[in-house]
């Protein structure tokens, strides 16, 4: 019976969840044992006939989870039971060489790297998809003036598409971070009990290099009994950082969907219910779900950090929680990427409300440009600043448009012509570099698609 939402399939795609399924995990571990045996046979570490037999058994369908569980009930050691289940199928001549020179963590850590490797292929493809959707939205609205807000207050004019461009840029940066980090956290270890290579002696590093190459991983340069947990902490941090960017996007969408702002709204399909009590509610539930999952994702990084400090060459204080933290991190991020891509693709943009909000302050959003106009006429910056502030505050008090207040002010009015003011109060004139920035980000996304789609 499913206990956690992950068990029921509520979160994450089928393809990402299958990577962490017990049967798939067994496949990874069997592949590792097969590749180690083959490499050891080729390099003369174990008899070649034994290496071939072990690999053949590992690649067959003879090793079952059921039998491993039976053996584990006796040994109370899951990896020992796994190794014993392989040895049971081998001839007497091959049995001594099963898992030769290895320790449990070699199998567990390397198979974890294999899981991460396959997971990241899926995550990267979804990051590329999201970057493309964001880029397309940025281009769609690159010429639409909108309110730019700081501290929750109207500040100046932006292109509405700039919001999407900023997000697209960060998604591309995440692709770069993950790709650059692979050499540190997609690692293979075959160095045995305390990281010396022990019984494989001088050939230990050669075995590790060959196995890593065949598995598409990087040989760990040094380790104790386990891969240093800084590696996994970094991977989880990078993935959590992606989730934090998705949360940033979700928070903005949630704010823009507030009744008082109303510039966007999540797609509300026929038959959907926003509230069991209030029939008119259309809540940004997908964005809220992203924010909720992001909190959990960030919390898992703290656990990964705690796992770095193990006793001596290792203890088991990391082992139990990693069975949760690593699969959960990947699966939850997959869910969040699916959600955000859906939200952005179907996001309804309310142009009229965007323009209405631009006019909400009766022209005061153009104060920055009035200040610039006065500076260019030779008025000292802070003299102009204080006069604009005085007129603006008075206009609010008297419920007067900012444009009329400037025209009627003896100090400001004498410096500015009516034509200059009308031109300055046209929001479409103040997109500045926004369209160029958006075009540059669109090219960045295009280049990333070429680079990372080929790499995967």
- The CATH number for 272's domain is 1.20.200.10
* Longest pairwise C-alpha distance within the chain: 104
* Domain presence at residue 313: yes
β-pair type (264-265, 348-349): antiparallel
Q: What is the pLDDT of residue 374?
A: 96
Q: Are 221 and 258 in contact (CB under 8 A)?
A: no
Residues 178 and 238 in one domain: yes
Query: Phi and psi dihedrals of 324, rounded to 5?
Result: -100, -55
**HSE, side-chain direction, 13 A CA sphere, residue 40:** 30
> What letter would DSSP give residue 153?
E
Give 419's pLDDT tier (boundaries 50, 70, 90): very high
Q: What is the pLDDT of residue 139?
A: 98
- The C-alpha atoms of residue 208 and residue 294 are separated, in whole angstroms, by 36
Across residues 350-356, what is the average pLDDT?
A: 97
Across residues 150-167, what is the average pLDDT?
A: 97
Model confidence pLDDT, tens digit, residues 278-328: 565 688 999 999 999 999 999 999 999 999 999 999 999 999 999 999 999
Residues 286 and 333 in one domain: yes
Q: What is the pLDDT of residue 454?
A: 72
Residue that the structure tokens 């934090």 belong to:
244
Residues 63 and 144 in one domain: no
* Domain presence at residue 223: yes
Residues 134 and 268 in one domain: yes
* Domain presence at residue 195: yes
pLDDT at 425 over 70: yes
* Domain presence at residue 283: yes
Residues 277 and 396 in one domain: no
Q: What's the whole-number average pLDDT of the chain?
A: 95
Residues 271 and 232 in one domain: yes
Model confidence pLDDT, tens digit, residues 87-142: 999 999 999 999 999 999 999 999 999 999 999 999 999 999 999 999 999 999 99
CA proximity to 154, closest of 357, 8, 413: 357
Last residue of a domain, one of 53, 72, 97: 97
As for how many domains the chain has, the answer is: 3
Return the SS3 of 145: strand
Query: Phi and psi dihedrals of 83, rounded to 5?
Result: -65, -40
117: left (phi over 0), alpha (psi -120 to 50) or beta: alpha
Tokens representing 196 are 């010396």
Residues 139 and 242 in one domain: yes
* Domain presence at residue 3: no
Q: Are 171 and 131 in contact (CB under 8 A)?
A: yes
CA proximity to 117, closest of 250, 34, 24, 245: 24
- Angle at which helix 161-185 crosses helix 104-140, to 10 degrees, equals 160
The residues near 444 (Cβ < 8 Å, ≥ 6 apart) are: 168, 169, 172
* Domain presence at residue 148: yes
Tell me which residues are annotated as active site.
151, 275
Last residue of a domain, one of 75, 97, 119: 97
Q: What is the pLDDT of residue 287?
A: 97
* Domain presence at residue 329: yes
Q: Which range, 8-12, 53-57, 282-286, has the best average confidence (pLDDT)?
A: 53-57
Q: What is the pLDDT of residue 117?
A: 98
Q: What is the pLDDT of residue 2?
A: 76
- The C-alpha atoms of residue 254 and residue 434 are separated, in whole angstroms, by 23
Residues 44 and 63 in one domain: yes
pLDDT at 274 over 80: no
Q: What is the pLDDT of residue 234?
A: 98
Tokens representing 263 are 């510039």
* Domain presence at residue 455: no
- The C-alpha atoms of residue 266 and residue 268 are separated, in whole angstroms, by 6
Give 216's pLDDT tier (boundaries 50, 70, 90): very high
Residues 352 and 373 in one domain: no
- The C-alpha atoms of residue 427 and residue 145 are separated, in whole angstroms, by 6
Q: What kind and span of H or E run contains 64?
A: none
Could you please report the per-residue DSSP string of 45-62? Answer: SS-HHHHHHHHHHHHSS-
Alpha carbon distance, N-terminus to C-terminus of the chain: 36
Q: What is the extent of the structural domain holding 41?
A: 10-97
Give 18's pLDDT tier (boundaries 50, 70, 90): very high
Q: What kind and span of H or E run contains 399?
A: none
Residues 252 and 133 in one domain: yes
Residue that the structure tokens 């999952």 belong to:
293
- The C-alpha atoms of residue 46 and residue 152 are separated, in whole angstroms, by 68
Return the SS3 of 194: coil
Q: Are 38 and 207 in contact (CB under 8 A)?
A: no
- The C-alpha atoms of residue 207 and residue 33 are separated, in whole angstroms, by 12
Residues 125 and 267 in one domain: yes
Q: Which residues pair with 145 in a beta bridge?
A: 159
Last residue of a domain, one of 97, 120, 147: 97
The residues near 225 (Cβ < 8 Å, ≥ 6 apart) are: 103, 105, 192, 193, 194, 195, 313, 314
Q: Domain holding 69: CATH number?
A: 1.10.275.10
Tokens representing 268 are 């509300």
- The C-alpha atoms of residue 29 and residue 23 are separated, in whole angstroms, by 10
Taken in order 318, 321, 322, 323, is the CA torsion positive or negative? positive
| Percent of the chain predicted with pLDDT > 90 | 92
Residues 172 and 306 in one domain: yes
Q: What is the pLDDT of residue 282?
A: 81
- The C-alpha atoms of residue 374 and residue 413 are separated, in whole angstroms, by 11
């Amino acid at each position: 019976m499913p206990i956690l939402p992950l068990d029921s399939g509520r979160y994450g795609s089928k393809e990402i969840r299958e990577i962490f399924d017990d049967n798939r995990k067994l496949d990874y571990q069997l592949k590792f044992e097969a590749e180690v045996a083959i490499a050891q046979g080729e390099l003369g570490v174990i008899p070649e006939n034994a290496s071939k037999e072990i690999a053949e058994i590992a690649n067959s369908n003879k090793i079952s989870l059921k039998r491993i569980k039976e053996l584990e009930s006796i040994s109370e050691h899951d990896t020992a039971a796994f190794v014993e289940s392989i040895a049971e199928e081998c001839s007497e001549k091959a049995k001594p060489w099963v898992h030769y020179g290895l320790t449990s963590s070699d199998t567990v850590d390397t198979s974890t790297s294999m899981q991460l490797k396959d997971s990241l292929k899926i995550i990267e493809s979804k990051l590329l998809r999201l970057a493309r959707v964001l880029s397309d939205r940025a281009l769609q609205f690159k010429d639409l003036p909108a309110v730019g807000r700081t501290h929750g207050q109207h500040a100046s004019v932006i292109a509405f598409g700039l919001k999407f461009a900023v997000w697209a840029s960060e998604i591309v940066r995440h692709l770069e971070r993950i790709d650059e980090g692979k050499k540190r956290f997609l690692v293979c270890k075959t160095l045995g009990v305390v990281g010396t290579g022990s019984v494989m002696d001088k050939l230990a590093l050669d075995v590790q290099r060959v196995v890593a190459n065949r598995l598409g991983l990087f040989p760990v340069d040094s380790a104790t009994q386990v891969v240093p947990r800084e590696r996994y902490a970094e991977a989880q941090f990078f993935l959590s950082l992606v989730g934090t960017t998705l949360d940033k996007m979700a928070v903005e969408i949630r704010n823009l969907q507030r009744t008082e702002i109303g510039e966007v709204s999540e797609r509300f399909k026929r038959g959907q219910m926003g509230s069991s009590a209030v029939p008119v509610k259309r809540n940004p539930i997908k964005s809220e779900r992203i924010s909720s999952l992001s909190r959990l994702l960030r919390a898992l990084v703290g656990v990964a950090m705690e796992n770095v400090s193990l006793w001596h060459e290792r203890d088991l204080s990391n082992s139990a929680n990693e069975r949760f933290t690593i699969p959960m991190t990947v699966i939850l991020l997959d869910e969040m990427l699916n959600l955000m891509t859906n939200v952005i693709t179907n996001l309804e943009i309310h142009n009229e409300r965007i323009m209405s909000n631009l006019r909400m302050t009766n022209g005061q959003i153009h104060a920055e440009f009035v200040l610039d106009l006065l500076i260019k006429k030779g008025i000292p910056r802070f003299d102009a600043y204080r006069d604009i502030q005085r007129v603006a505050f008075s206009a609010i008090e008297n419920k007067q448009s900012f444009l009329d207040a400037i025209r009627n002010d003896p100090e400001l009015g004498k410096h500015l012509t009516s034509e200059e003011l009308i031109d300055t109060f046209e929001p479409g004139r103040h997109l500045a570099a926004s369209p160029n920035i958006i075009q540059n980000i669109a090219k960045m996304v295009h280049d990333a698609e070429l680079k990372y789609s080929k790499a995967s």
